């Protein structure tokens, strides 16, 4: 299932995102992105950072607005490219609309229909491709058009934008002990870890991902960045966390600034998604529920102290929501594992 990936090391390795870059991002996004509060949860010891309250329903807006704001204005005027399973697509579309430019976004064809339509509704051109072309097709378009690609996670501008979440947590909870963060490509946890390391050096940042898409946990455990097959990560209901591997720059942050990565089962994700809605009154998509799931189901693996879980998004498919509220997991190939060879 896992395949080792090469990564830059030594003097050619990409530089870690600094607190200065994150502070600059905070200034750039002010007024466009919601500064989300820390909310008490129904579960003693846990507070929630509700990024589902962003205009596009997910944290991704922070990185997209930061990245577009740092483009040369003449380059930006020609439009941008992006690829995404849904939330980054909406974020780039929203940011592009705010600048009055076109966004051409490649989305894998296993993405939820609701996220695809939401991206189109924001004015972007959407191109659906087989999941195996998620990365190759944007590269082709960039070569053909010369337009810049706004990456979903492996990019210093995007990471610094996502890092404003960690900056806000540090400002609102300077005594925070544990920060739980969903992991997919690693842009979110990299930015949060960079900010928390700089501002709250005694705190630990712990990643959380689905057991069925546990490439980041395996990478941290083995000490090398690995990739999983698309058919493997497609099994999880957490559609925003199906990326095959963490990025090269995120891996540098994760390997040096992240304390641990916990994996959660599909039943635990489903249970937490329901409980966030019914008990915490927060609509979270399964991807956005995984961090809280680590607290509710694996608290014995977490250090003690004040804990914050990032609820990264709330763009849940209505059909998935109905089945989860009925106490049933979503049926189909996203849950039932296919045959996967290593």
Angle at CA of residue 61, ends 335 and 99, nearest 5°:
135
Please say if 115 is a catalytic residue.
Answer: no
Please name the residue ranges forming H helices in the chain: 19-29, 60-69, 73-76, 87-99, 113-121, 136-145, 156-162, 164-172, 187-199, 215-222, 230-233, 248-257, 266-278, 286-297, 318-325
Look-up of token digits 């540090």? 170
Q: Catalytic residue, from 41, 190, 287, 312: name it.
A: 312
Closest CA to 45 of 302, 317, 286, 308: 308
Please identify which residue in the block is written with the tokens 């712990």.
206
Q: Where are the extended beta strands (E) located within 202-252?
A: 204-210, 226-228
Cα 317–Cα 239–Cα 109 angle in degrees, nearest 5: 90
Q: Which two tokens stand for residue 234?
A: 């497609």
CB of 264 within 8 A of CB of 211?
yes
Tokens 């546990």 sit at which residue? 214
Pick the catalytic residue from 60, 84, 147, 184: 60
**CA-based nearest residue to 186, from 149, 155, 212, 164:** 155
Tell me if residue 147 is catalytic. Answer: no
User: What single-letter DSSP state applies at residue 133?
Assistant: G
List the structure tokens of 48: 């929630």
And the tokens for 218? 């395996």
CA dist list (Å): 210 to 15, 236, 259, 305, 335: 28, 7, 17, 24, 11
Catalytic positions are 60, 312
């Amino acid at each position: 299932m896992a395949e080792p990936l090469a990564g830059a090391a030594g003097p050619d390795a990409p530089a870690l995102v600094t607190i200065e870059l994150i502070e600059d991002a905070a200034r750039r996004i002010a007024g466009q992105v919601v500064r989300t509060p820390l909310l008490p949860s129904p579960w003693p010891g846990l507070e929630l950072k509700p990024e589902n309250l962003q205009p596009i329903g997910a944290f991704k807006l922070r990185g997209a607005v930061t990245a577009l704001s740092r483009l040369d204005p003449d380059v930006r005027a020609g439009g941008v490219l992006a690829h995404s399973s849904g939330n980054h697509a909406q974020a780039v579309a929203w940011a592009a609309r705010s600048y009055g430019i076109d966004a051409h976004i490649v989305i894998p064809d296993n993405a939820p229909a609701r996220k695809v339509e939401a991206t189109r509704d924001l004015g972007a051109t959407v191109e659906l491709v087989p999941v195996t072309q998620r990365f190759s097709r944007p590269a082709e378009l960039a070569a053909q058009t010369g337009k810049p690609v706004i990456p979903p996670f492996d990019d210093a501008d995007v990471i610094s934008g996502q890092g404003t979440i960690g900056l806000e947590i540090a400002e609102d909870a300077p005594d925070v002990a544990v920060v739980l963060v969903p992991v997919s490509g690693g842009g979110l946890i990299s930015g949060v870890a960079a900010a928390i390391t700089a501002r709250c050096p005694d705190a630990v940042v712990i990643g959380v991902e689905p057991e069925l898409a546990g490439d980041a946990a395996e990478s941290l455990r083995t000490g090398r960045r690995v990739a999983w097959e698309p058919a493997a990560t497609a099994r999880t209901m957490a559609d925003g966390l199906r990326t095959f591997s963490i990025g090269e720059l995120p891996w540098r942050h994760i390997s040096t600034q992240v304390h641990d990565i916990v994996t959660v089962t599909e039943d635990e994700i489903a249970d937490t998604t329901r409980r966030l809605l019914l008990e915490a009154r927060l609509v979270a998509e399964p991807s956005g529920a995984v961090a809280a799931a680590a607290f509710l189901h694996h608290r014995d693996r977490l250090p003690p102290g004040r804990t914050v879980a990032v609820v990264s998004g709330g763009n849940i498919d209505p059909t998935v929501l109905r089945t989860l509220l009925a106490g049933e997991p979503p049926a189909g190939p996203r849950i039932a594992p296919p045959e996967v060879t290593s």
